[in-house]
Chain A
Amino acid sequence: DQQVKQNSPSLSVQEGRISILNCDYTNSMFDYFLWYKKYPAEGPTFLISISSIKDKNEDGRFTVFLNKSAKHLSLHIVPSQPGDSAVYFCAASEGMQGAQKLVFGQGTRLTINP
């Protein structure tokens, strides 16, 4: 059972335009959400996160939106740059005592076209 889903395996966007990556989740206990970016032959790198008590978090060109009622989050990149071409993973974490376990989506490959 995939608790975190990224339904678009790939996305192609023109340079300078907005990139919107989507993520849906099923577990209502998730209380923290993260986006990671991964280049080939490298490990994922943390991009931006949002707590369930917020509905928006912004960091430079990156903004994450959380819609708890729809169990949906999205990552907006504005403006998109060629260096943004990578695989993006959303991840969710459930509030609990002790150890942390991130549940990742399958990833969306973003290609920025010049």
Chain B
Amino acid sequence: KAGVTQTPRYLIKTRGQQVTLSCSPISGHRSVSWYQQTPGQGLQFLFEYFSETQRNKGNFPGRFSGRQFSNSRSEMNVSTLELGDSALYLCASSLELRSYGYTFGSGTRLTVV
């Protein structure tokens, strides 16, 4: 079965712009989480969506937002981009909330210049 699909794979944006990243979970998976990976910081939790509702949120500014659609696909938006937002953004899906069987996508590499 198809894995978690993230698009685009690579993005280059300039400071001040906004960006939208997309994540299609594994078919049947209803929970989608987003993580930011930067060198030295590891993976940091952004937020988790389940049944189109944000269920949990990490310690990121309000410029980071997301949503989930009825088909469980999720988008993440970052507004007013800063240089420090350059990172690998990973999406992970699981069957249910509190399901530890996370499957990660390959990520979107965002570079802010």
Contact = CB atoms under 8 A, between A and B. Distances in A.
Interface size classification for chain B? 20 to 34
A43 B92 contact: yes
Binding site secondary structure of chain B: strand
A100 B98 contact: yes
B43 A89 contact: yes
Interface of B: 4, 31, 33, 35, 40-45, 48, 50, 55-56, 58, 90, 92, 94, 97-107
B45 A42 contact: no
Contact of B41 (A32, A93, A106): A106
B100 A43 contact: no
Contacts, number: 69
For the complex of A and B, list the 6 residue pairs with the smallest distance between their C-beta atoms, beginning with the closest.
Answer: A43-B104, A99-B55, A99-B56, A106-B42, A104-B43, A104-B42
Nearest to A96: B98
A111 interface: no
Interface residues of A, number: 25
Contact of B58 (A44, A89, A100, A101): A101
A103 interface: yes
A70 interface: no
Contacts of B43: 44, 89, 91, 102, 104, 107
B42 A107 contact: yes
